[in-house]
């Protein structure tokens, strides 16, 4: 019997985290070009992309610019829009309501579907991807979050405790239109030390949804000098995943560098289209 080619290929498993008002299936459609490009670039790997959906189902009133019809109940039932958390502006700085539930949902996928090699996130999902990468660094990274700091920041999420989740650090993260969570309460994800996991930041020069300053705050939270190291890529568009060849190639080059680094045993170890309203990330 001829051997199964897929049985001899190394796994390359990607965790795909959608943006606010999206869902796993919608992000699957939005990132199809990227995943196909990765699969083509890694013929000796069995590439698997897993698309969970955030636990917070959103109401019409939660969606920026949404205008329901006169039949409100029908519209509410038809909406398939989700988030990993919701931003509350009544707190200063803003509070991420439901963040623990969002992290717990990801931890469940990591436990059931893992181990994962890397994470790819868009907007709110990119912000979450950076947090997840930091949490999985354990004692070697992820700052006070890894140390269980409770005040003035948030406590270490129980869903990521060693007793609840055993998962190695990620080899890489790709953050499309990512940003840093605001205020001191989330500082533990980003400081003392900064995020150690290699992160590629892909940003739109015309992004009117995520302010450049917020994306740069996430860049600054990563170890080293990401811009000098070529880990910041700008595309001449807005708030979406670019599907043009140069930006797909940039993602593949970055992933290949980290995968080869990991396979060689040198990876660190812990001590142009506009989005429709459902794809926008405003209240984060």
Active site residues: 123, 207, 239
Total residues found in the chain within this entry: 284
* Among 218, 206, 277, residue whose Cα is nearest residue 19: 277
**Distance between CA 265 and CA 283 in Å, rounded?**
41
The string of DSSP codes covering 153-218 is SPPPPGGGSTTT---PPPSEEEEES--PPPSGGGGGGTSSS-B-S-EEEEEETT-SSS-HHHHHHH
Measured CA to CA in angstroms, residue 101 lies from 15, 79, 187, 223 at distances of 17, 21, 19, 27
**Distance between CA 144 and CA 150 in Å, rounded?**
9
The one-character DSSP state at 90 is T
């Amino acid at each position: 019997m001829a051997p199964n080619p897929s049985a001899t290929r190394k796994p390359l498993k990607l965790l795909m985290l959608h943006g606010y008002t999206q869902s796993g299936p919608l992000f699957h459609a939005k990132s199809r070009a990227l995943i196909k490009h990765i699969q083509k670039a890694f013929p000796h790997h069995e590439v698997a992309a897993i698309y969970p959906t955030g636990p917070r189902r959103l109401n019409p009133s939660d969606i920026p610019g949404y205008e329901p019809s006169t039949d409100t109940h029908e519209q509410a039932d038809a909406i398939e829009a989700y988030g990993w958390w919701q931003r509350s502006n009544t707190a200063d700085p803003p509070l991420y309501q439901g963040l623990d539930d969002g992290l717990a949902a990801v931890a469940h996928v990591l436990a059931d579907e893992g181990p994962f090699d890397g994470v790819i996130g868009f907007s709110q999902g990119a912000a979450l991807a950076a947090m997840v990468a930091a949490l999985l660094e354990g004692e070697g990274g992820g700052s006070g979050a890894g140390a269980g700091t409770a005040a003035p920041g948030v406590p270490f999420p129980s869903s990521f405790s060693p007793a609840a989740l055993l998962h190695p650090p990620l080899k890489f993260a790709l953050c499309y239109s990512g940003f840093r969570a605001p205020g001191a309460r989330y500082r533990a994800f980003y400081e003392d030390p900064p995020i150690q996991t290699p992160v590629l930041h892909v940003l739109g020069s015309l992004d009117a949804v995520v302010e450049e300053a917020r994306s740069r705050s996430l860049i600054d939270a990563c170890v080293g000098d990401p811009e000098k190291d070529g880990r910041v890529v700008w595309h001449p568009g807005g708030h979406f995943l670019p599907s043009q060849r140069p930006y797909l190639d940039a993602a593949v080059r970055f992933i290949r560098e980290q995968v080869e680094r990991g396979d060689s045993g040198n990876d660190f170890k812990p001590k142009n289209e506009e989005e429709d309203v459902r794809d926008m990330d405003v209240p984060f």
